Every structure is written in C-alpha cells, then in structure tokens.
Amino acid sequence: MATTTATPAQQPLLSQAAVVQKYRQLTQECQQLMSKVAELEQERNEHKLVEETLTPLDPDRRAYRLVGEVLVERTVKEVLPSVKENRENLEKTITTLRERLTERQRQTAEFKAEYKLQ
C-alpha cells in the first residue's frame, strides 16, 4: 500500500476568507501564549522574591502561606521547599510555553509567506 503525502504546493489552496481566518487564529494563539508566559513569569518572580526573603530567616520561625483561600501557619523550613518547588515548576512550564510560542510563530510566518499576506 502506497501512501502519498501532499506537499504544500500540491495541497488545495484555501479561499481568501479561510486564509484570513486561519491567519487570525494563528496570531490569536500566539497572543494567548505570550500573555500566559507573561503571567507565569510574574508569578515566578513573586515566588523568587518570597524565596529570597525566607532564605536568611531562622528555619523555626513562623511563616504563613496562602493555600487556596486559607492562610496556614507553618515554619520557614516547611514553607521554603514548596516555594522553591513551585518556582522550579513555573520555570519548566514557562520554558515549555516559550518553545510552543516559537513554533507557533514559525508556523504563522510560514503561513503568511505561503499566502503572501501583509
């Protein structure tokens, strides 16, 4: 069984309205990804600030942490590892989203060039 894959030149061209709609969809996805990255970067910076503030403190000192909508009393040695872990997870997520954003921007640029959009 032979399978054929169509090259971009062989694929049927989209109507002008479909091209514009597809381009708008791609740019909207890029904007959403950029917005999410910015939001997560701000959250990561807040975690970093808390981490820097807690690090020099006595490990047995009381610390309060907001869990959901509840303020919980803990010690610095209990709170600090979870703040570090959350920051690291945010950094991984930001990296993943940036990679996805780069790929989506590349796709958008290729689409724009293919259909000669301005």
Contacts of 74 (CB under 8 A, 6+ apart): 62, 63, 64, 65
Domain count, the chain: 1
Rounded Cα distance, 117 and 23, in Å: 9
Per residue in 19-33, pLDDT tens? Answer: 889 999 999 999 999
pLDDT of 109 reads 93
The domain in which residue 95 lies consists of 16-114
CATH code of the domain in which 57 resides: 1.10.287.370
Mean pLDDT of the chain: 90
Whether the pLDDT of residue 1 is over 80: the answer is no
Question: Does a structural domain hold residue 38?
Answer: yes
